[in-house]
Amino acid sequence: MAKIALNVDGKSHTINADPDMPLLYALRDDLGLDNPKFGCGLAQCGACTVIIDGQAVRSCVTPVDSVGKGKVTTLAGIQKNGVPHKVQAAFIAEQVPQCGYCMNGWVMTTVALLEKTPKPTDKQIEDALTGLKCRCATHVSIMRAVKRAAQA
């Protein structure tokens, strides 16, 4: 057990945890931030995605002590002043989710993509989103939403 400092959604926290505990459990279990979801724990699905310093990261395989001074953003932290992020607005407008359990991964990965590549080509979108899973198979809605967000 060790004292570990985390900066999440602009707030500082200190938790007491195993250094090798995945960040996902710190967010969910210690901080009560439930938007990153446990999907596989194996870096195979993206449900646990958070953004650390602009990079989409799979928190289920990220040891909590490796985050260091990195600024962690969760789905709850991408709204500004209560206004949904343009990616969120697009996913809502396209009514993308079915069960919604995967959506954290798709939204957060798209946010990271558009930060770096505001006007992505279809190929760039595919390269960024390949590997993420949606078992309800909402892929065609997701594509519509990502394009809408890129145009917003």
Task: Indicate which single residue of 19, 115, 121, 135 sits in contact with other proteins (rule: CB under 8 A).
Answer: 135
12: helix, coil or strand?
A: strand
Measured CA to CA, the distance from residue 150 to residue 85 in angstroms comes to: 12
Which two three-digit tokens encode residue 5?
Answer: 């400092």
> Which one, 76 or 136, has the nearer CB to ligand FES?
136
Q: How far is the CB of 140 from ligand FES (least distance, A)?
A: 12
Task: Indicate which single residue of 8, 56, 102, 113 sits in contact with other proteins (rule: CB under 8 A).
Answer: 102
Segment contacting other proteins by CB under 8 A, of 13-21, 49-57, 65-73, 112-120? 13-21
Instruction: Provide the Cα torsion 86, 33, 35, 37; round to 10°.
Output: 150
Sheet arrangement for strand 2-8 = 11-17, 2-8, 71-73, 49-52, 55-58
Contacts of 119 (CB under 8 A, 6+ apart): 150
Q: How far is the CB of 147 from ligand FES (least distance, A)?
A: 18
Considering only residues 23 to 42 of the shown chain, the ones binding other proteins according to CB under 8 A are 25, 28-29, 32, 34-35, 37-42
Considering only residues 96 to 135 of the shown chain, the ones binding ligand FES according to CB under 6 A are 97-102, 134-135
Q: Using an 8 Å Cβ cutoff, are 24 and 2 in contact?
A: no
Q: How far is the CB of 38 from ligand FES (least distance, A)?
A: 5
**Site residues (vs ligand FES, CB under 6 A):** 38-41, 43-48, 58, 60, 97-102, 134-136, 138
